[in-house]
A and B are shown apart, each in its own frame.
Chain A
Amino acid sequence: MNIYVLMKKTFDTEEKIQIDGGVIEEEGAEFIINPYDEYAIEEAIKIRDDHGGEVTVVTVGDEESEQQLRTALAMGADKAVLVNTEDDLEDGDQYSTVRILEAYFEDKDVDIILAGNVAIDEASGQVGPRLADKLDIPYVTTITNLEIGGEDVKIVRDVEGDEETVETSLPLLVTCQQGLNEPRYPSLPGIMKAKKKPLEELELDDLDLDEDDVEAKTETVEVFLPPEKEAGRVLEGETEDQVKELVSLLKTEAKVL
């Protein structure tokens, strides 16, 4: 089977994020594989181990993305592809990424593509479904279970706290939700082997794309951190007075009434 994973490098939201001049400060930020993409990588490796074939992890990113691709290879993926847009693309958006991936997959024989449900940085959840649409293959989002038997695929997906079972067929794109699996740690031998696994680096030119073809369709107006949580307030006095005060605060201070 030809198994592909769409991976994104994101900053680690567990670490402190700093914004300078409307841009997230990359110096000092920790970068990781988008956690939802880790489920996709794990599932891809399991599919390969059960059904044979090859796992290729694809990312659109920069020079630094190699680290995350190597980690995916260390987990057990077979090949990695980096579409390096560092020199060609100032500010891409989901459109840019999908356009690039569409060009990449144009001549590929695909059985299944796995992506994360969302990336934890911008959380748009668009790239997977939009790519499937462009490639004209079915897609199922937020999957929590996947069974492949021949061409037939049985999927359980998370629908806001409930489950939905979907039957479909290959070729297919899925986006992976928490609960699908427990991503493995890259083992030491895996890390050492990853060094020798193929990592192909492409630029827009190699995909017959111009900068204009992939220009973003959206514009980022402002980037800001959520306001810092302030300490709560405890109202005092008779219950009746407290209720009155609460209602008045909701009107005047919180302005939600």
Chain B
Amino acid sequence: MNFELTKEQEMIRKMVRDFATEKIAPRAIDIDVNAKFPEDLFKEMGELGLLGIPFPEEVGGSGGDTVSYALAAEEIARVCGSTGLSYAAAVSLGSSPIYYFGTDEQKEKFLKPLASGEALGSFGLTEPNAGSDAGGTKTTAKIDGEDYVINGEKCFITNASYAKQIIVTAVTGKDDRGKNIISAIIVPTDTPGITITDNYDKMGVRGSNTAEIVLEDVRVPKENLLGDPEKGFKQFLYTLDGGRISIAALGVGIAQASLDKALEYAKERKQFGQSISNFQAIQFKLADMAMEVELARNMVLKAAWLKDQGKNFTKEAAYAKLFASETATRNANEAIQIHGGYGYMREYEVERYLRDAKLLEIGEGTSEIQRLVIARQFGC
């Protein structure tokens, strides 16, 4: 048993913390207020190799591991939830499926530009009537000659407006039992027939791009099919397992930021002639917050470590996602409470933490779905 990070992991964490503090943090309020995707920051993050952390060098990645990736996601979310969410989605959902299931040609053509940070990728799973129930997917992909012709509609798709390509899930046929076969197909965003609009007015993570996608007779070559045509559903369950680790890491970041702000404020703020951090009512809150951050982080790192060891991590990733996202919401809420009236003001940032944290309980599987995932691991 060893809880120490490797030298590389330490260095990565320090580098990302420095970058996040110096480059992202000063713009976090602005990114939220104007709901503007910070494209230039992603360019810089790409140049530093952050978008390729968990992928090997052969596919344009940085040759890091899942632990390093989780540390990076935490550090980014600690200063800006919007940037954090777009970062996690780009790596876990845009790039990872191609790395897991892509052919060598697909990796060369579609993964390399993403892993090396030249472009962003996106993952189109959710539809207006297929959220947690991905089996309800209505988008279809029919073979016509050498092409798939795709028709359908996707919603709440992160980074789609800035993506070079979108991995789209679609019904490609029926199995022996008459159930829909769902496959994943890589669709370059410059293909005719795709309309991407981003008119959502969101509660939080406002600077993270979220888009609606309409696909009308979109033609892509058959070789853009990702992975096994029969196992599309299993593939994205695995993808989502990995994604949960990064969403959990974002939760740890926001929870840590909430604690940092609350602690700093509690020490400075004087009422009744002394710092409010002298009062047990505040101390108990701070103690709970610190404890939960640590527990959440340990769970995230354990899930990441299991993944790096090639062991099963489905249950642990769900524990981490569920606990860390709810911790983020609780901590952000308590941070506002400790700040009193000031906490309600944008300038103090903790109100943004709460709005950003809430998304983490919903995206990539709601808290309720996480509990189902966990229970299913017991054979329920």
User: Residues of A at under 8 Å CB distance from B?
Assistant: 66-67, 70-71, 74, 185-192, 194-195
Contact = CB atoms under 8 A, between A and B. Distances in A.
Nearest to A73: B11
B283 to A, nearest CB: 18
Contact of B10 (A67, A187, A188, A190): A67
Nearest to B9: A191
B35 interface: no
Contacts of B7: 66-67, 70, 195
Interface centre among B19, B49, B53, B64 (most CB of A within 10 A): B49
A191 B11 contact: yes
A74 B11 contact: yes
B15 A195 contact: no
B64 A186 contact: no
10 contacts: A66-B7, A67-B11, A70-B11, A185-B15, A185-B19, A185-B48, A187-B15, A188-B52, A192-B57, A195-B8
Nearest to A186: B15
Nearest to B53: A188
B72 to A, nearest CB: 9
B49 A187 contact: yes
Interface in B1-48: 7-8, 10-12, 14-15, 18-19, 47-48
B63 interface: yes
Nearest to A67: B7
Interface in B82-128: none
A71 B12 CA distance: 10
A189 B10 contact: no
Among A74, A189, A190, A194, chain B packs the most CB atoms within 10 A around the CB of A189
A189 B49 contact: yes
Contacts of B8: 191-192, 194-195
Most interface-central of B8, B50, B57 (chain A CB within 10 A)? B8
B11 A71 contact: yes
Contacts of A71: 11, 14
Given A192-B62, A192-B63, A192-B64, A185 B18 contact: yes
Interface residues of B, number: 19
A14 to B, nearest CB: 10
Interface in B46-86: 47-50, 52-53, 57, 62-64
B37 to A, nearest CB: 22
Contacts of B47: 187
Nearest to B47: A187
Interface of B: 7-8, 10-12, 14-15, 18-19, 47-50, 52-53, 57, 62-64
Given A186-B15, A191-B12, 19 more contacts: A67-B7, A67-B10, A71-B11, A185-B18, A185-B19, A187-B15, A187-B47, A187-B48, A188-B50, A188-B52, A188-B62, A189-B49, A191-B15, A191-B64, A192-B8, A192-B57, A192-B63, A194-B11, A195-B7
A188 B12 contact: yes
Contacts of B57: 189, 192
Contacts of B63: 188-189, 192
A251 to B, nearest CB: 30
A71 B8 CA distance: 9
B193 to A, nearest CB: 36
B15 A189 contact: no
Contacts of A192: 8, 57, 62-64
Nearest to A188: B49
Contacts of B18: 185
Contacts of A194: 8, 11
A70 B18 CA distance: 16
B11 A186 contact: yes
A74 B52 CA distance: 16
A194 B10 CA distance: 13
A214 to B, nearest CB: 28
Nearest to B8: A191
Contacts of A187: 15, 47-49, 62
Contacts of A186: 11, 15
Contacts of A195: 7-8
A67 B8 CA distance: 9
A191 B8 CA distance: 6
Contacts of B14: 71
B19 A188 contact: no
A230 to B, nearest CB: 14
Contacts of B19: 185
A185 B10 CA distance: 14
Contacts of A191: 8, 11-12, 15, 62, 64
Nearest to B49: A188
B11 A189 contact: no
B373 to A, nearest CB: 31
A195 B8 CA distance: 8
A102 to B, nearest CB: 30
A189 B8 CA distance: 11
Nearest to B56: A192
Nearest to A14: B21
A191 B12 CA distance: 7
